[in-house]
């Protein structure tokens, strides 16, 4: 394993807070995940970095040596982020136009961008179609767009756009009525839902095609109705349908959100912007705020937090 800045930041957090538990909370991670990460760092360096005591964690002599080198590097990265912020302001002056397909991370992304760029007029365009947003970026109507791409149904990315991937494979969960027999399960299977009526919004690029593929693979032919996902939430709560949903979805009264065993339905999340002729450091700032906002809503979702803990390789998305 090669050490990265996020690893050094984790070591500094443990030393500063005196506790893996407190450091995990500060970093937005679970304690088991940070413990595993620390063990891997120690294995990579070949020695113990912290004494684990009842009162907390304190650096070993080797830990002090590593921290002595790590802190300036973390400080340099912080300075770099500050410099990038200034670059973004110079690039955009008083206007920043971003777009997104539906995501609970958008509100936090905007909040962070406006805090980072208080003098900039930051606007957002929400659209069901990732393809439409990508065309707007290519045509100069948007500066960047955060979109999702259904697995097996690639978006049409115009020439000249550059992608920055947030997550290669985000699993899609299922929204079920709380009265559904499978609602008592922590993870549901397609077979559990084979006799239900499903709802999908065909206007969302790739969604209906993605569902048809998993139905065919599972040998299923359920009843399907078409409609928008706002209406779907009401129908799920009323016990009329089940529907795929983002893992960050917040359950409402009468509804539960559950992972699908095997994660047969997934999307890729990425930020797209125009390449060439511009210092791309400005994207680092946009992407850092997007990543932070995404992890905020991811950890706030009980079902997704448990899924992330079981799929540790994806936890690094936030760090």
List, for residues 168-186, the tens digit of each pLDDT value: 999 999 999 999 999 999 9
List, for residues 5-47, the tens digit of each pLDDT value: 889 999 999 999 998 988 888 887 788 888 889 999 999 899 9
Give residue 189's pLDDT: 95
Burial 62-80 (b: 16+ CB within 10 A, else e): ebeebbeebeeebeeeeee
Beta strands in 39-180 (DSSP E): 50-53, 56-59, 95-100, 121-126, 144-150, 161-171, 173-177
Beta bridge partners of 126: 100
Q: From 123, 250, 88, 105, select the one nearest 167 (Cα to Cα).
A: 105
Out of 87-91, 98-102, 302-306, 310-314, which region has the weakest mean confidence (pLDDT)?
87-91
Query: CA–CA separation, 158 vs 304, rounded Å?
Result: 32
**How confident is residue 319, by pLDDT bands cut at 50, 70 and 90?**
very low
Q: From 105, 110, 158, 111, select the one nearest 131 (Cα to Cα).
A: 158
Out of 41-55, 272-286, 297-311, which region has the weakest mean confidence (pLDDT)?
272-286
List, for residues 43-52, the tens digit of each pLDDT value: 989 999 999 8
H or E segment at 261?
A: none
Say whether pLDDT at 87 is over 70: no
């Amino acid at each position: 394993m090669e050490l990265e800045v996020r690893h050094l930041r984790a070591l500094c957090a443990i030393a500063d807070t005196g506790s893996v538990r407190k450091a995990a909370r500060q970093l937005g991670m679970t304690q088991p995940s940070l413990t595993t990460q620390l063990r891997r760092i120690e294995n990579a360096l070949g020695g113990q970095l912290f004494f684990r005591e009842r009162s907390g964690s304190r650096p070993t002599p080797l830990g002090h040596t590593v921290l002595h080198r790590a802190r300036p590097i973390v400080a340099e990265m912080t300075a770099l982020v500050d410099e990038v912020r200034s670059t973004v302001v110079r690039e955009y002056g008083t206007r920043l136009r971003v777009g997104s397909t539906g995501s609970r991370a958008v509100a936090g992304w905007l909040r962070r961008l406006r805090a980072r760029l208080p003098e900039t007029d930051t606007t957002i365009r929400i659209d069901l179609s990732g393809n439409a947003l990508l065309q707007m970026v290519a045509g100069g109507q948007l500066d960047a767009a955060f979109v999702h791409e259904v697995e097996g149904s690639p978006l049409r990315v115009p020439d000249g756009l550059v992608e920055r991937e947030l997550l290669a494979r985000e699993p899609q969960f299922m929204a079920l009525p709380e009265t559904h027999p499978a609602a008592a399960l922590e993870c549901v299977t397609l077979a559990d839902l084979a006799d239900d009526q499903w709802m999908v919004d065909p206007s969302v690029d790739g969604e209906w095609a993605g569902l048809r593929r998993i139905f065919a693979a599972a040998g299923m032919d359920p009843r399907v109705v078409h409609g928008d996902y706002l209406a779907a939430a009401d129908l799920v709560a009323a016990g009329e349908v089940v529907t795929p949903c983002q893992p960050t979805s917040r359950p409402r009264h009468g509804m539960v959100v559950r992972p699908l065993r095997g994660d047969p339905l997934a999307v890729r999340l990425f930020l797209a912007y125009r390449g060439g002729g511009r210092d791309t450091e400005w994207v680092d700032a946009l992407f850092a705020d997007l990543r932070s906002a995404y992890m905020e809503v991811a950890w706030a979702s009980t079902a997704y937090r448990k899924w992330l803990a079981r799929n540790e390789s994806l936890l690094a998305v936030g760090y």
